Amino acid sequence: MKKYGKYSGMESSREGESLLEAFHNSGGPGTLFWVSIILYAAAAVFSLALMKNPKVCTLVSNGLCILASLFGIATSIINIAIEKIHTDLYVFQSAIPYLSVDIRLDRLSSFFLLCLSVLVLCVSIYAIGYVSHYFGKRNVGVLHFLYTAFILSMIFVMTSGNAVFFFVAWEAMALLSYFLVIYESEKEENVNAGRLYIIMTHIGTAFLLIAFMIMFSYTHSFDMFGSSAAIPAFAKNIMFVLFLLGFGTKAGVVPVHIWLPYAHPAAPSHVSALMSGIMIKTAVYGLLRFVFSYLGVQNTWWGVAILVLGIVSALMGVAYAFVEKNIKRLLAYSSIENIGIIFIGLGIAFIAKAQGNSIVCGLALAASLFHCLNHTLFKGSLFLGAGSVHFASGTKNMEELGGLIKRMPVTAVLFLCGALSISAIVPFNGFISEWLTYQSLFSNILPGHALINILTILSVAVLAMAGALAAASFIKLFGISFLGLPRSERASNAVEVPGVMNVGMGILVTLCLAVGLFPMAVLQMLDRVLTGFAGISILPQLKNGWLTAFSPLSISGNAVSPAVIAGVFAGVILAALVLIRIIGGKRNERKVGTWDCGFESLNARTQYSATGFSKPVKIALKILFRPSRVVKTEGDLVYHPESIQYLVGIEPIFERYLYDPISRLARSISHKIKYSVQTGSIHAYLIYILLTVLILMFYNRIA
Amino acid sequence: MMHAVYALIQIIVIILAAPLVNGIIRKVKALTQKRKGAPLLQMYFDLFKLLKKSVVVSDVASWIFRAAPYIAIASAVAASLFVPVTAWPESQGYAGDMILFVSVLALGRFFMMLAALDTASTFGGMGSSREAMISALIEPSLLVTLFTVGLIAKSTSIFQIMHFTAGVGIPLLHPVYILGFAALCMIIIAETSRIPVDDPSTHLELTMVHEAMILEYSGRDLALMELSASIRQLVFITLLVNIYVPHDQMIALYGLSGFAAIAVSLLVYLIEVILVSILIAVIEVHTVKLRLFSIPNLAALAFIVSFLGFIQYFVLGR
């Protein structure tokens, strides 16, 4: 973000502007972009070539990725800063019609490319240390190859200019991430997670394919930047539903989210950071590109549909996150919540656009794009932190952890900062985008739209509840795993991870704090993105500048200044320290055991567990969780049984009431087909062929 | 420069008045029980005594436990800047956004809940997990209530809201404000750990929430935790007073300005705070503590009331 500031500063002076223009005219951003692509490709090649020597392979591959990501950051920042709306890079027309490679970098693509590159930079630094625990056990070269290819596929998803190329990149992204999910394939659960993922993602892709076919049948073009005027209104409605389902599956919105909590945790942690941090955002990009900008917002109900999905995802995601005890799965559920918040912003933007309220539309778009960036930063850092915990202790189960803050002090501080960011607490970045979302909800309530007003105020309630539950989830995650006494041998034997891993995580956390303190830098960038992409400028609503307060609306007084609040915090703490020193003298501290009610039997097992921590909420929301409890006792004595088995569980309502019936139906239909159509008799098959030929002949005759 | 002076006045008034609210509540409760009760200023003596005592810290605790009291007080004091206690001469100068206000308070709660888990004490975990439930259930009604009054005043700044209500006459006669007032009363009770949600004067593991979280604290750390809890309480009372009975109104009524305006509004504010403290004490005397799993019902009631307030104004028309 600091870099952006520098460039925007350059831009403000005329000299700098001409310099940038000159750079651009000489093919600047394009060259930088190709350099970064070539570096990624080289990283992929080298990781396969150096497979024999895992150490060198890891260093070379990740080093090239770091370089490539720096070029990616430069490309996207310059591309946002220059006056031109988009940069067309390379059109490769193959002999096959419509199969061409179009790369088009507009400001929206550049924004997502920037999120990706920043994350890749940190994740690659982290991976140098993290991957070392696979040395000698697994083929690291393949991991690095898949990792770089996965990054490349995401870059092409974000920059492709026609639907066919987009589709190819999209499919490559799905397949490569599938291979990464099942990288540790000896674990049964990973293979199952991968299977569920590949089925769900292909269902989503199928919807997209149908939508593209409708697009082509009316416009005879796959150009994503072309006009959709030829498509009639009813077809646009159908296309919207298809896009929403297709992209929604990738984003992991409820109810098509079931793959996400299994697939994201199964991959190696640095890949999980990429999947949760940026892969699910490609769906947001897709919705903006294909629906918002290509189709154009036709009806208010489009926005309402997105908003409702957002509300449901935010609430369900965080509720399930709160009762989870696997660190990485908790983070994955929290991604569903954050996608929900992004969708709430998108929904408001669509509603406002349909009603011609461009101020609210711009604000809501800025809120959801800002949350995309923020989620990339803090979810990336949290997944890396989860990876560090796994690296040091060998477990992801909170019930086996505890007391890590004393064994891994640096990781603990970084993780805590990530947790504060995601809990939307000042002065970290999560608060800024949540505040913008609240502001866009606030300004979306206008007299006369009863239903939309009710929906909007419900979104406010959901956002508030999701915020409180998210904070509680991360208090639980941090409090149970990092504080208290270690609950297992593994946790008590944990040691701090290599410095390079903390550097990777530290950059992300620093960015979280920097963006939180100086949000204007990002908002100025977003303003350029939005003027380029939606033709809406949000700057008139933003008052003052950089360090001081800013108000997003023309209403005076709606101002937030995280930097000032951070200053107040520091001042109060300092004053408290000084005053107490004056009144009470030097701190005189005695260390004794925790109060144990005199029983002297306090140990790790008497602490609160992760399951116990979430129990009150589980009972309060039992309509959602449907908790079950089984107590089995052995022995004759009622009050002194020999052993007690206590099982608690929650009912997976989506799997049980939505997916199970569908899969049962599909299975029974295929079963019937197997016995009635696929009989095994050659005569029957000959008749099928004959009938097919006849039908085709008739069809040909008529058509 | 003026801003800094006003901010300082604000902070000093709130910090000095906060323990008094506890004193009043305790005194009123004692009087209704035909006891003499502790002196009004008892909490000041307690805090002063605690500051001079040495600190006992669990050997399990990490830096989180030691830092939490300071962060809690920072969060409470920073939050107090959002709710003006006196009239502000320049109307544009004060920007207290309500969403930021909620987030600032969340910081203190975040660290208090973490500190409770830090000592490996069962009580701490229990308090922390109960607080998680209560905060998750009560937050939606808080935001909806604030949004409703904010939308009427067309601003998310608490100061602007207060300024707006000052100009409309007696707000408590309007249904939307009555519903909001009722909702905010319930929210305050839950947020400040008062009966019927929590009992501040008990140390029984079946009932305690806030006390369970700070059970391991002693000495100056305890003093900071107690002080920040009472500041939080006063901040919420001030919020209620600012929105529904703004002291600005009195100044407008008598056309005061300058130093007189500040003094009068401060006086009116203090009287209002005393009245609200008595109201809270009366509620405490007349209700029993709810079972933990009945709190969701109270939260649901608070949410419905606040939601009805919104519907009344924005859907049914004014």
Please give the structure tokens belonging to residue B57.
Answer: 């810290």
Give residue B155's pLDDT: 81
**Residue A90, pLDDT score:** 67
Q: Which positions in chain A touch B130 (Cβ < 8 Å)?
A: 616
B155/A483 Cβ within 8 A: no
**Helix, strand, coil tally for chain B in percent (to 5):** 75, 0, 25
* Structure tokens that stand for A137 in this block: 């056990």
B127 to chain A: nearest residue by CA? Answer: A613
Instruction: Look up residue A662 and give its two tokens.
Output: 């569908």
Cα A112 to chain centroid distance, Å, stands at 12
Chain mean position to CA A486: 31
Rounded mean pLDDT of B89-109? 77
User: In this structure, which amino acid lies at residue A606?
Assistant: T
Give the end-to-end CA distance of chain A in Å, rounded to a whole number.
59
- Distance separating alpha carbons of residues A104 and A86, to the nearest angstrom: 7
A687 contact partners, CB below 8 Å, separation of at least 6: none
Whole-number pLDDT of residue B214: 92
Confidence of residue B92 (pLDDT cuts 50, 70, 90): very low
As for how many domains chain B has, the answer is 1
Mean pLDDT across chain B: 87
Residue appearing with tokens 């397949």: A175
State the pLDDT at residue A220.
87
pLDDT of residue A292: 92
Q: How far apart are CA B288 and CA B206, in angstroms?
A: 14
A596, closest residue in chain B (CA to CA): B121
Which of B16, B100, B142 is best to mutate for the A interface (most A CBs within 10 A)? B100
Residue of chain B nearest A587, judged by CA positions: B54
- Quick check: B139 and A425 CB within 8 A? no
Residue of B nearest to A447 (CA): B314
Residue of A454, A479, A573 lying closest to B117 (CB–CB): A479
Residues of chain B positioned with their CB less than 8 A from the CB of A460:
140, 143-144, 147
Tell if the CB–CB gap between B57 and A612 is shorter than 8 Å.
Answer: no
Rounded to 5 degrees, what are φ and ψ at A298? -95, -50
List, for chain A, all residue ranges whose pLDDT scores fall below the cut of 70.
1-28, 85-87, 90, 95, 541-560
Residue B250 corresponds to which tokens in the numbers above?
Answer: 């009195």
Q: Do B100 and A565 touch (CB under 8 A)?
A: yes
From the number of C-beta atoms within 10 Å of its C-beta (0-12, 13-18, 19+), residue B274 rates as middle
What is the complex's ipTM, to 2 decimals? 0.95
Contact at CB, B135 and A468, closer than 8 angstroms:
yes
Provide, as residue numbers in chain B, all residues whose Cβ is less than 8 Å from the Cβ of A464.
102, 139-140, 142-144
Q: What percent of chain B has pLDDT over 70?
A: 90
For residue A486, give the chain B residue with the closest CA.
B120
Report the sign of the C-alpha dihedral through residues A523, A529, A533, A537, in that order. Answer: positive
Task: Report whether pLDDT(B298) > 60.
Answer: yes
pLDDT at position B277 is 94
Q: Could you tell me which of A359, A375, A306 has the C-alpha nearest to residue A530? A: A359
Is A462 close to B315, i.e. CB distance below 8 A?
A: no
How many Å apart are CA A556 and CA A65, to the nearest integer? 46
Residue B306 pLDDT exceeds 90 = yes
Per-residue pLDDT tens digits for B132-187:
999 999 999 999 999 998 888 888 888 778 877 766 666 667 888 889 999 999 99
The Cα–Cα gap between B318 and B313 comes to: 5
pLDDT recorded at residue B164? 79
Structural domain that includes position B42: 2-314
Residue of B104, B126, B215 with shortest CB distance to A565:
B104
Three-state DSSP state, A136: coil
Evaluate if residue B22 carries a pLDDT over 70: yes
DSSP run (H or E) holding B58: strand B55-58
Q: Is the pLDDT of residue B262 over 90?
A: no
Predicted confidence at residue B54, as pLDDT, reads 92
Could B59 and A483 be called an inter-chain contact, meaning their C-beta atoms sit closer than 8 Å? Answer: no
Of A403, A407, A463, whose CA–CA distance to A433 is shortest? A463
pLDDT in tens, B225-242: 999 999 999 999 999 988
B91 pLDDT tier (thresholds 50, 70, 90)? very low
What is the interface size between A and B, counted as CB pairs within 8 Å?
A: 264
> If 0-12 CB within 10 Å is exposed, 13-18 middle and 19+ buried, where does residue A41 land?
middle
Q: B36 to chain A nearest CA, in Å?
A: 31
- pTM listed for this prediction: 0.93
Which tokens in the block code for residue A579? 């005053």
Nearest CA in chain A to B113: A475
Q: Report the alpha-carbon distance of residue A114 to residue A528 in Å, rounded.
A: 14
